Structure formats: C-alpha cells, structure tokens
Structure 1
Amino acid sequence: MKMVAGCPKCSARYRVDADRIGPDGAKLRCTKCSAVFLVRVPRVQDVAPVPPVVETPAEAPVVTVTPPPVDTPLPAPEIDPARLVIIADSNEARGKKSAEAVARWGLAQHLVHDGVEAMLSIQRMLPAAVVLDAALPKMFGFQVCEVIKRNESLRNTRVVLVGAIHDQDRYRRNPTDLYGADVYIEGPDLPDGLKSILEEAGLPLNEVAGPDAIARPRVEPAAVPPPTPEAVSLPSPVPEADFEIKSSPAVETPDPVSDQPMADPQDEGREVVAERERALRLARIAVSEMLLYSPDKFDDAIRDGNLEQALDLEIQEARALLRQRVSEEIRAETDFIIDELKRVAAERGGLG
C-alpha cells in the first residue's frame, strides 16, 4: 500500500511504500533540502457507531376540558331548638296532622313513628317540646319520657304524653305522676289541643296562613234562563182493532247477576295481613295503658308470677276492644293481648 509523505521543511512530497514502514515509523531524508523527518503509518481510527435515531413522537395537543358546573346543595337551614317540636306518633295520619298544625303555628317540626327514632332525634336536636305517643313501637312513649327527665341536657324540654284511652270513664292520674310528663293529652284532642299547651310552655307561636286560607274573590255563577218547553207533537190515536189479541206466553225472568267482581286472592291476603297488624297494634296500645296507669301493679304481678290473674279486668277490657275492631278469624290465631303482656314483661326482666 502506497502512501504520500511530505517534508515538513520544504513541503516536498514523496510516495512511500507503507508496508516498509515499521510500527515505530521510518526516517526519510528530503532529497531537495536534505532535511531528515520521521514518517509514520497513520492509524485507522475506529469509527464510532452512529446511535440509532429515535423518533420522538410529537406531543399531543393539550386540551383543557372544563368540567361542568356542579350544583352545590345549599346547606340545610339551621333549626332553632327553641322553636322545634318533635312529634313521635305511631299513627302516621294523626302524626302528619299534628306536624302540619305545628308548622302552621310558625314552629319547626320533626315527625317520627317509633320510640327508638324519637330518642335519637331528641338527643341530637334538643327540642323545646316533645309530643310522645304512649304506645310507640320499639320503645314506649313513657319510657322515652323517663329517659328525657333523667337527662340533664333535656331538663327544660316540655314533654306532652299522648294516651290512647278507650274507656272514657277510666281514672286519670295527675300528669306529673305519669313518668315525669309535663302534660297529658288524649289522642282525639290532637292536633288542636296542642296549641294551648305549646303556648303555655313559652314557645313563640306565630300563626301562618296556609294555602287554603288565602281569600279568593267569590265568583257568582251566571244566571241561566230556564229552558223554554218545546211543543211536543202527540201521535194520532190508533183505531181500536176489531180482532182479539192473544196473550203472549209468559217469559221467564232470569235471576239477577251480581255486578261485584270476583275477589282477588292477593287482595284478600293483603287484607288479612293488614287486619293482623291492626290486632298487634291494638294489643300494644292496650298493654301500654296497663303499664302507663298501673306500673306498680304490673311489676308486682310480674314478680309474683300472676300477671294474668292480677290484670284480669284490664285484659278483659282489652279483649273487648279487639272484638270490636278485629274479625273472629284473626282473633282465633292467637291471644294477642297475652302475647304482648308476656313480651313486655320479659323486657322488664320478670318473665321468661
């Protein structure tokens, strides 16, 4: 392999056989200027590998998505405890009427239908007054009353106890003896009887006119003239026939068919369930009255183990109530009064 070497002094150029030059190079003398210079075979440098070209994908355009506006619910208006009345009534229709009346009097109201819910609401909301049905399910109203009167934070709460008396001549004890209740009221006196009670308790009543109380102009109906009777043309008389008309054979009149549809078995089943629930509710009311009016007698009977004998008169009254309100078919299923008596006695820890 030939290579070109140049004199560093006079720049003369010489063609040299590269194979004859050793690894340490070779000294040449320039024939032109007699200069001696060293010639080396140039090294073949390793070519650095070319890194692969990585195509960087173009950045996707950033799209700013504005989320739709979220309707933030308005905070519930704070209820002033001094204007709040909690109504606990197992009778939903009666409780609704009482709640509507309380709202109409300008007070805040909260309606519940069992004793446990009533107790939780009272402890959380600290109302100015509580209306308690004595026969509340899950926890009797007078039991809730006892808890209220033992609670220091509820000592100013006015407690109205609602009874369910079915014997109007029954002896009534003083409300202060009724488990600490401030006032006692009969169920039929609701809701109208509450107004004076709440006023005496110092609640700020302010009559609010309901939608039905808005005066509307009276529109007199337009006078309608009486109809003019039209002339009625009478048919011309038919000449009498000169032949004998034979009587037609008697036509049998079919028996009338009842217009009432056949009873749906499903509806009958629902009616039976509803009547059974009514029997259970009446039994609960009757037993709650026994416990409400005769707590000592009730507890003594449990302790002595003669519950049915000691409360025989009350039991007979309760059974008479069921006979008036519940069919014989449902009453034959079980003794609802005794079942409820045993359940309440077991809760009070005296009957297994």
Structure 2
Amino acid sequence: MDYVQEQFEKCNYVLVEAFWNQRTDNQLSQKIIEQQLKYYLNIDNLYHIPIKKDSALYIVNFSEESIEPIKEAINHSDKRIAAKQLKWIISAPFRSLRELQEVYQNNHKKIQQYHFYLPDRRILSYDELPDPIDERVSFDLNHLIYLFKRKQFQEAFIYLNEHIGILSNRYDTDVFEFQSWLENITFNIIVLLGNMNYNIKELEKEKYAYFTEINDAFHVRDAISIFDSFLSKVEKQVAPETGETMSNIQLLLDYIEEHYDNHLTLSTLAKHFHFNPSYLSSYFSKHHKEGFSEYLNNVRIKNAINMLASTDMSISAISEAVGYSDPSYFTKVFKKITNTSPSTFRKVNQQQN
C-alpha cells in the first residue's frame, strides 16, 4: 500500500463515482466519463477502480484544502455528458490510501443508497446529504390480510400507499430491504387472492418478472411504479367487489354538482358517504388529476360563468350563490381558472352577444 501511495504526488484523496442506468443510457462508458473528468480536472491520469459495467469509480488525488474545484469539474462533466440518468458520488476526503476501504464501505456506499431515494439529485456529495426523516412506523401485515379478507380493498390500498410513502423518504433504509419488502407484499397479495378464490393465473405468471424489475429499479420511483402496475392488475381482479364503491363515488359527484353552493369539505362528504377521507382524497388526485378543493372550485366557477352570461346578478351576489362568502376570494379563484376576472368575462360576453 505504501508503494501505491508513493505513486500519487498529492496528499489528499477522494473517491468519485459516476454510475448510470444501462437501459436509458446504454451509450455511456467509462471512457466517456474519464475523458470529461480529465479535461475539467485538468489532469492527465485518473486511478480507475473497476467495479461494474455501468459504473466508473476513481481515486482523485488533490492538494487543495478545498474540494470545491472537484465538485465544479463534476458539475461541468455532468452537463457536458447530458445523460438521462447519470448519477455522481463524491465521498469524504481522506489522507491515506489505508483508509480507502473504510471510506468506500462506510461513506461512499451510504451516498449511493441516498441516490436511490433521491431520483432528482444527479450529484451527491458527502457534505450535502439531507437528514433522514425520523418517522418509524411499523407495517402490520396481519392488518393488510384482515382488510383483504373483509374485501375492504380500497382501505388496503390506502394502507399500503401510506406506508410506501413513509419508506420512500427513509434514506437510511437499506435499498435491498426496501425492494425485498415490495416483493414480499407482492407475493403475499397473490397468495391471499388465491386463497380467496380469485383468478391469479396471470399474476402468478408475471410474479417473477415483477421481482426482477423491482430488483433492477434504478431509483425509488422506478420500484414504486412497478409495484403500482402490479396493484392496478390486482384492482382489476377485485373490480366486482369495488363496484358499490364506484357507484357511491358517482353519487358523491352528483351531490357536489347539486350542492356546490353549500359549505362542503372533504371530511364532511367522506363521513356522509361513508368513505375513508384518505381514500377520497387519493381518488380525486388519481381520477381527476386535481384535489378535492380544485374539483369543487371548478364546479363552482362553471356555474358562476353561466350566471354571469345569463343573469344581471351582481358579482357579489353570484359569489354567494355559488358558495363563496368573500367576493374578493371568488374573483381570485375565478381569475386563476379562467385567466380573466368576472367583470371582464361578463363585459366580453355581452359584447360578443
């Protein structure tokens, strides 16, 4: 090790790694990464440590107390390469190659794990890691089984999604542990549906493909997307059991259309129609691409437009008639949805007619 260290001229070291998604960036190579790093670091040689095909790991030897020039070189390299899913790791600096293994195991691999949970961060440095969210909530598999056996599928899906949301922000959770949890839930749901006499032939056939894709996921969103596609197929299998739920949803939407002028809230509607508020909230987001408040606002403004065009009611009277007690707030919402104020809309409409 002393002989190797003598080959380096400067006294500080840092591990720099670039790794990429082979499926989206199959043209990338260690050679391309190295060319850019050498150019922007203004050095002739980089010590490459071979790890795997879709990764380039280097020991960078530097003398400056500050590591900022290396960070800047990586930023320039990343922009120059412009790959879709290229990630960079900058480990904690060290002063002896004898520390190499410890830095790689205890610092470098930790940063790599953070990358999985932070898909929008292309470059992660040892001194820029976000604090993990300290929210430890245990998952009760027996409760999930209980919900399935009672055919309370929507509640079961909500329970799953809420826990996945928590896990996806736990940067300190081992990636393999997260992926294994998704695979375990997938396996248990298939077994459970089979025991409940549902047709699981297709799910059984695709089971190992789901496992492989979850294991190969480049980041947390990829893994969750694969699991969501599995849950979508499960929903189709149990669709007859959710028919009553969807019928009640339509009753709720009809109720909003008829009572938009009343004081309506998500919690009161959920209670009135016997829905879980979390399910109702996720329903609006999933099926209407907007939250409950936005949906209600659109219904109210749609009716306000009809009143502005067909009546001589004052704007304050129309505001109250469609459920807004504050005319200024009504005007603000109206303008946000239509890009014009109520008074301007009425004026233009009168001119056109």
Q: Give the helix-richer structure, 1 or 2.
A: 2
Larger radius of gyration: 1
- Could you state the TM-score of these two structures normalised by the residue count of structure 1? 0.18
